[in-house]
A = this chain, B = another copy of it.
Amino acid sequence: MTARAGRGSLSKSALHRGVGVALWRQIGDEIRRGIGAGLADENGRLPPEAELAARFGVNRHTVRAAIAALIHEGVLRSEQGRGTYVRRQKRLTYPIGTRTRFSAGLEGQARDRQVELLDHMKEPANAVVAAALGLGAGVDVIRLEMLGLADGVPISRSTSWFSATLFPDIAGYVARTHSITEALALSGTRDYRRASTTIEARHADDTDTRDLRLSPGAIVLVARGVNVDGNGKPIQYSQTRFSADRVELTVSPA
């Protein structure tokens, strides 16, 4: 999309009827994608409903249903007599690298960034967590449920596990400092780095729609990874869900 010649042409995209996805939703997805690819003009104004209807080959009401959904999502805003406008133009770029830290990574992209601890608990590690942290299955771990915000908008929703014996007080530190980096430092781990990350994409489930304020059918990017300390010993396993509409990930070398 980014590297296409056209100026707002939105390639007469064929809609598919009878495939279990309503036309208005397909059109909504097209409009969402079209934003930032020249569909809206320089003021963020969309073409009028009648023109969009003609372009998609549907009734104006169907376009209106799509726009209504996007307004409900907070993507668009419309004013009677004036037109329909895009609310947020740009997507945040979140770095995935050896030294990823939430706040530092978004520096310069959002005025206000913060991490909120939603919940925490001690529990026995399941097979995946145990393997990732190099612990025996069933060993106690501490799980943190966190929400990352940028300028008040939910950006990421993560679940992290730490060894309960090595980081018994991690939850309190995170609650106090609002920072994993500082909480680890208070626990005695001054430095850490990302050992591996896998990235997948899927539809938002209801946890995602609630915590990240998404609409059903929205997409989340899921990054799973392990942080290790200076000696290469695993200290944190985490799984982070990003709103695909609001962020893109960038793999930085270094």
Contacts and interface: CB of A to CB of B under 8 A. Distances in A.
A87 interface: no
Contacts of A200: 91, 221, 244, 248-249
A198 B249 contact: yes
Interface string A7-21: 000010110100111
Contact of A3 (B21, B22, B224): B224
Number of copies of this chain in the oligomer?
A: 2
A225 B32 CA distance: 23
Interface residues of A, number: 65
Contacts of A22: 20-22
Interface in A186-239: 194-203, 205-206, 209, 215-217, 219-222, 224-225, 237, 239
B129 A3 contact: yes
Given A2-B224, A3-B129, A199 B250 contact: yes
A21 B219 CA distance: 14
A198 B19 contact: no
Contacts of A220: 201
A56 to B, nearest CB: 12
B216 A219 contact: no
A94 B224 CA distance: 14
A158 to B, nearest CB: 12
B251 A197 contact: yes
A159 B2 CA distance: 11
Given A13-B206, A20-B28, A253 B2 contact: no
Contact of A219 (B28, B202, B206): B202
18 contacts: A3-B129, A4-B126, A19-B215, A20-B22, A20-B65, A21-B21, A30-B205, A32-B202, A96-B199, A97-B251, A196-B250, A196-B253, A200-B221, A200-B244, A200-B248, A201-B220, A202-B244, A251-B251
